[in-house]
Amino acid sequence: DFVMTQTPVSLPVTPGEPASISCRSSQSLFDSGDGNTYLDWYLQKPGQSPQLLIHTLSYRASGVPDRFSGSGSGTDFTLKISRVEAEDVGLYYCMQRMEFPWTFGQGTKLEIK
């Protein structure tokens, strides 16, 4: 199985400042057949269901603010928030869907300083 490792576990951020979360996969998520990298990012806000932020490495889901961006290649990935807002608090997860079983990182808790 693909093992997904996220850092940091906890991320305190001052509003208006940038934030970055790293995710590493035990195997490459790049599909040379179609040129896609099968890495998604999800956010679970307190008391809510998870929501899709970024799919296929770098594509923002519908309605996601452009302060969120995804990047990386192969086995190393980053979610960046250009300017954190209070509403961004919650648990962030990367997930690979290169191969079943799909696997999530352990999560990164973003909190406001």
Partner 1 sequence: EVQLVESGGGLVQPGGSLRLSCVASGFTFNTYEMNWVRRAPGKGLEWLSYISGRSNTIHHLDSVKGRFTISRDDANNSLYLQMNSLRAEDTAVYYCARLAYTNSAGGPRYHGMDVWGQGTTVTVSS
Position 77 contacts partner 1 (CB under 8 A): no
In the complex with partner 1, the residue whose CB is nearer, 16 or 63, is 63
The answer to whether the CB of 44 falls within 8 A of the CB of 52 is no
Decide: is 104 part of the binding site for partner 1 (CB under 8 A): yes
Q: How far is the CB of 74 from partner 1 (least distance, A)?
A: 19
CA distances from 84 to 18, 42, 60, 87 (A): 6, 16, 16, 8
Give the footprint of partner 1 on residues 12-31 (CB under 8 A): none
Q: What is the DSSP letter of 113?
A: -
52 binds partner 1 (CB under 8 A): yes
Q: What DSSP string runs through 37-85?
A: E-EEEEEE-TTS-EEEEEETTTEEPTT--TTEEEEEETTEEEEEESS--
The distance of closest approach from Cβ of residue 53 to partner 1 in the complex, given in angstroms and rounded to an integer, is: 9
- Give the whole-angstrom CA distance, residue 32 versus residue 34: 6
| Shortest distance, position 34 Cβ to partner 1, whole Å | 7
Residues that bind partner 1 (CB under 8 A): 34, 36, 40, 42, 44, 49-52, 54-56, 59, 61-62, 91, 93, 95, 97, 100-107
